[in-house]
Structure 1
Amino acid sequence: MRRWIALVLLSLGVSMIIVDATIVNVIVPVLVRDLRLTSTDTQWVNEVYSLVFAALLLTSGSLADRLGRRRIFLLGVGVFAVASVACALAQRTPALIGGRVGQGIGGAMILPTSLSLINATFRGRERGIAFAVWGSTIGATAALGPLIGGWLATDASWRWAFGVNVPVALVIVAVLPVVLHESREKVRRPGLDVLGSLLSAVGFAALVFALIEGRTYGWWSSIRPFDLGGFAWNAAVSPIPVAFAVAALVLGGFVVYERRRQRTGRAVLLDLDLLRIESFRNGNIAAMVVSLGEFGLLFALPLWLQYTLGYSALRTGVALLPLAIGSFLASGIAQPLTGRLGAVAVVRLGIVAEIAGVGGLGLVVGADTPWWASAVPLLVYGVGVGLATAQLTGIVLAEVPVDAGGQASGTQSVSRQIGSALGIAVLGTVLFSRLQAGLAERLAGTPGGDRIADAVGASAGGAISGLAADPATAAAATAARLALAHAASVTAYTAAGFLLLGLLATRTLGPPRTSARLEPADAPAPQQSR
């Protein structure tokens, strides 16, 4: 019974970081008003969390193996809670951004350790159930974030969007040590891989920054200046190709350095021999490709709901609820399906459901879509996310030694984060390029049409309400709504295409019943200590 209580607490920890990753997008307009954020401030409040989070995932997972997975998880929950208080109390922009940095650090400690703790605690059929709950938590809370943020921004204060994390964290810190034993690697190599940690952090941060900010600063030529802490980049070449180059060089150096340390028997951040495990290597590739289409679409849907259909932040969250419901439903059917079909078959079934749901959204998205028309596709999409995420995670970790669970979980989390960032980059580019081009076509011959199209594109649709309020530009607002709806539809079809690639990538996972061989149901539980 204790381990199931522990699973609930681990899932609550994951829910904090997933909700926080989505909730800020909803409360940004209120932050701009209350803290007088500039466009650059807004960008960093949003993105610094993702950058720090991605940079430290591998380091946190590896440290958890050495120092104790429960210890690092609880430390991460504490850091996240303190950083949330700092965000909630922030009176100026630097304090808010600093709090978001702290949340990124805490989140990077929570996510991979939650996975490795589940991997170390559960066996056989119970492990499949535990991963199903964990995977459904991610899908459901990703959809609940906008609802919670919209409710708090509308009826309370944006500060509670951060403050709600504190009671959750207190419960986790108080109860988890009572119900969950500590686990760590049994054989410890000498030394700490400090340089490896630094190289991985710099490399992954540069890569995620380039993927997320390519549209903002230009993929090659600069389209706006880059400012950070007094440093200004004003060159003709965008900082994005430089960031890609830094990521390639640093991560390449990381691999060489890790291989060299491993040959001398010293501790490494990532045991590269793990990549020889077929299920781990191919599972990570499939997870990254699937993530391209899974969560990139969640970037586009709120924009369509708010700026085309005119929904409030709260109503937008309610409209996305079927996704959360579908993900929760998946947790109940995932294990019986896995027992009958095998984990690989359930992953493929989940991705097929995601393709059907996303394709259905592409069909129903329009300028006057009723609320119920998107509910069924979102429900199907949520079921698919719940099925695919949980079982794919189980496949990735199935043959990994428990001693390496932290670094393996960190690697899998990094793969998903990179896939998600790439999905947002590509789908965001598709959405905004189609919005701007489509509106320019609709306003061709209209005085100031190009300027209006540029403004709507630059604001991600936010300028539509201002256009609608002015009788002189009301017709342009109608055209903008139609253009945004069409762009969102094209984006949904593009996401479905990525998911189809993810389905093809699962061919490397083997036949559908492979999971029966991979699942180490009879493996002895690791020695654990308080």
Structure 2
Amino acid sequence: MLEEEAVGDRRRWFALVTVSIAVSLIIVDSTIVNVAIPSIVDDLGIDSTQVQWVQESYTLVFASLLLVLGVAADRWGRRRTMMVGVAIFGVASLLAAIAPSGALLIAARLVQGVGGAMILPTTLSIINATFRGRERGIAFAVWGSTIGGMAAVGPLLGGWLTTDFSWRWAFGINIPLAVLILVAAAFVVDESRSDDVRGTDLAAALLSVVTFGGIVFGLIEGRSLGWWTTRDGAADWWPFALSPVPVALAVGVLGGVAFVVRSRRRSARGAPTLIPLGLFSIPSFRNGNVAALVVSLGEFGILLSLPIWLQNVLGYDALQTGWILVGLAGGSFVASGAAQALISRFSAVAVVRAGIVAEIVGVVGIGAVASPDSTWVTIVPFLVVYGFGVGLATAQLTGVVLADVPVQESGAASGTQSTARQVGSALGIAILGTVLFTTTAAELDARLADQGVPEDQRTQVVDAVVDSAGGAIPALAEDQRTAAAADDAREALTQGTRYSAFAAGAFLLLGLGATLALGRSRDDERPTRDRAEDVAGHGA
């Protein structure tokens, strides 16, 4: 009997390793792309809007489907859904690796988003169904620390692959990892599903896609199509003077309102809803999701601008950029070791707040020291602090959000929690990318105007720098006739990076404020650990 229990214990922890590797697959892929972007721009000739869409096409589909697939996993089986997702992700990675154009690369990223949306919520719900009591808290900490650590290891791996081989291997590396996960999951991850299977609201699923798609499209395309009136020649497919951007934003907002109204009405008459609204009566779940969304706005959006700045302004290659970003990984790994010691003395919410404060210090510090003459010596210490904060906040916030959720609702709850993060991440990348490139364009145009450069020439230089996401700067520097413009471009892109960092810090500050609601909700409740053990016992 004891021997069987020991085998079961080992199997649970091997299952945790497997789902952590599955999470690593999607996190590493997202961060590898950041480092590979300059090489992709050079090879495929994509412009800055496509640069954002290489990121956002994945994130948009990912965020849109998390809820649907999280709930579906409860019905189909969580292990089965994860394995299907891993297979789809692997095939899409192969398509991305051989993509001959920017459009086909973006299409492959869309398919990757489907696979990723099947993986992330199921890993959380598998943990929720597999572990109990204190073990569940440890498992969530491992899961969250994996995300923080892999977010920084990814750039190093991507830098090495891009520099020594090709950016295509940044996607190709996913294929053997997918095979490894599929084999391991078949042996060590137990199947689980909910006995209380609800229907699925397909109309609400469509509304969620419309909501996220409209808002993200508007934020990304605003500067290229025009925020209010259509820019000349910007959209041949749009015949109206009113830009499609405000239309898309309005459609997105109206879709969100319709989603909420429909869900409330269906819930009132007992019909199935995409999001189980009853979960929002749990204070830790409700307030934790708000905090997760706002924090995610600032947490990873800065990773879009940093690799572009490090390579095109400071002159580091992809591998060197990866090594610089390892500072983030170092801080995250230190945080994973310190988290349990901190929780033994302080509450999980206090640890989350400390992590967010560290993130603010790190990202604002990067903005403060950023200059065209910066070196890795001035950047890495702030990345370490930032990574330490990510390692603390990500792991513990996940535990707080899901601590009181019944096991039978774990798929829906995991999907909701993951969606909150991904919506925040998508909006963060869109907003911070817009801040980066809009500021760069305005700053460069102003600098060239001060030097008396004619408007048509200014426009050519600004468009070249912005559309290439800074990739045109080295070419400008090599030509004596445009060397001065290259210096101005470095200053402008640095200013854009600085503003992007400060905007990320502002979002994180809002997220810190959102955690105050977590503190108030705990005043009249028992500590999270005790409640989690009760819920686990009830679910068992």
TM-score (normalised: structure 2): 0.90
Conserved in 2, the CA contact under 8 Å of 1:343 and 1:512? no
Q: In structure 2, how many angstroms separate the alpha carbons of the residues matched to 1:123 and 1:302? A: 40
Q: Which runs of 5+ in 2 are unaligned?
A: 1-9
Q: In structure 1, how many angstroms separate the alpha carbons of the residues matched to 2:142 and 2:234? A: 41
Conserved in 2, the CA contact under 8 Å of 1:355 and 1:500? yes
Query: How high is the sequence identity, in percent, across the aligned residues?
Result: 57
Conserved in 1, the CA contact under 8 Å of 2:35 and 2:321? no
2:453 to 447, 450, 465: 447
**Residue 242 (structure 2) pairs with residue 232 (structure 1):** no
Q: C-alpha root-mean-square deviation of aligned residues, in Å?
A: 2.6
Q: Which runs of 5+ in 1 are unaligned?
A: none
Q: In structure 1, how many angstroms separate the alpha carbons of the residues matched to 2:182 and 2:234? A: 40
Conserved in 2, the CA contact under 8 Å of 1:149 and 1:314? yes
Q: Quick one: which amino acid aligns to residue 401 of structure 2?
A: V
In the TM superposition, residue 208 of structure 1 has moved relative to its aligned partner by 2.8
Q: Quick one: which amino acid aligns to residue 464 of structure 1?
A: I
Distance 1:31 1:440, change over 3 A: closer
Distance 1:332 1:409, change over 3 A: same
Q: In structure 1, how many angstroms separate the alpha carbons of the residues matched to 2:491 and 2:45? A: 31
2:497 to 465, 470, 488: 488
Conserved in 1, the CA contact under 8 Å of 2:27 and 2:151? yes
In the TM superposition, residue 268 of structure 1 has moved relative to its aligned partner by 2.5
1:406 to 402, 407, 411: 411
Q: In structure 2, how many angstroms separate the alpha carbons of the residues matched to 1:289 and 1:153? A: 32
Conserved in 2, the CA contact under 8 Å of 1:52 and 1:104? yes
Distance 1:429 1:218, change over 3 A: same
In the TM superposition, residue 454 of structure 1 has moved relative to its aligned partner by 4.7
In the TM superposition, residue 525 of structure 1 has moved relative to its aligned partner by 5.3
Distance 1:382 1:168, change over 3 A: same
Distance 1:22 1:212, change over 3 A: farther
| 1:425 matched residue in structure 2 | 430
Q: How does 1:84-233 map to 2 (within 5 A)?
A: 84-91=93-100, 95-189=104-198, 191-223=199-231, 232-233=237-238
Q: How does 1:42-441 map to 2 (within 5 A)?
A: 44-91=53-100, 95-189=104-198, 191-223=199-231, 232-441=237-446
Q: In structure 1, how many angstroms separate the alpha carbons of the residues matched to 2:393 and 2:230? A: 39
In the TM superposition, residue 226 of structure 1 has moved relative to its aligned partner by 6.9
| 1:4 matched residue in structure 2 | 13
Q: In structure 1, how many angstroms separate the alpha carbons of the residues matched to 2:205 and 2:361? A: 40
Conserved in 1, the CA contact under 8 Å of 2:42 and 2:471? no
Distance 1:461 1:95, change over 3 A: closer
Q: Relative to structure 2, which stretch is displaced further, 433-442 or 512-521?
A: 512-521
Conserved in 2, the CA contact under 8 Å of 1:358 and 1:496? yes
Conserved in 2, the CA contact under 8 Å of 1:262 and 1:268? yes
Q: Quick one: which amino acid aligns to residue 255 of structure 2?
A: V
| 1:21 matched residue in structure 2 | 30
Q: Quick one: which amino acid aligns to residue 244 of structure 1?
A: L
Conserved in 2, the CA contact under 8 Å of 1:225 and 1:234? no
Pairs aligned (count): 524
Give SS of 1:100's match. Answer: helix
Distance 1:169 1:375, change over 3 A: same
Give SS of 2:22's match. Answer: helix
CA offsets, 1:241-296, max 9 Å, x none?
22222222223222333333334444332111212221111111111111121112
Q: In structure 2, how many angstroms separate the alpha carbons of the residues matched to 1:462 and 1:8? A: 39
**Residue 527 (structure 2) pairs with residue 517 (structure 1):** yes
Conserved in 2, the CA contact under 8 Å of 1:344 and 1:512? no
In the TM superposition, residue 128 of structure 1 has moved relative to its aligned partner by 2.3
CA offsets, 1:43-79, max 9 Å, x none?
6544322221121111111111222222211111111
Give SS of 2:469's match. Answer: coil
Distance 1:251 1:440, change over 3 A: closer
Q: In structure 1, how many angstroms separate the alpha carbons of the residues matched to 2:434 and 2:90? A: 34
Q: In structure 2, how many angstroms separate the alpha carbons of the residues matched to 1:197 and 1:11? A: 27
Conserved in 2, the CA contact under 8 Å of 1:215 and 1:425? no
Distance 1:314 1:512, change over 3 A: farther
Distance 1:329 1:104, change over 3 A: same
Q: Quick one: which amino acid aligns to residue 459 of structure 1?
A: S
Give SS of 2:237's match. Answer: strand
TM-score (normalised: structure 1): 0.91
Q: Relative to structure 2, which stretch is displaced further, 259-268 or 488-497?
A: 259-268
Q: In structure 2, how many angstroms separate the alpha carbons of the residues matched to 1:310 and 1:89? A: 28
Conserved in 2, the CA contact under 8 Å of 1:343 and 1:513? no
Give SS of 1:99's match. Answer: helix
Distance 1:422 1:490, change over 3 A: same
CA offsets, 1:361-420, max 9 Å, x none?
122211111212111110010010010111111111112222111111111222112222
Distance 1:31 1:454, change over 3 A: closer
CA offsets, 1:126-157, max 9 Å, x none?
22222222222222222233322222222113
Q: In structure 2, how many angstroms separate the alpha carbons of the residues matched to 1:33 and 1:508? A: 47
Distance 1:62 1:96, change over 3 A: same
Q: In structure 2, how many angstroms separate the alpha carbons of the residues matched to 1:321 and 1:463? A: 26
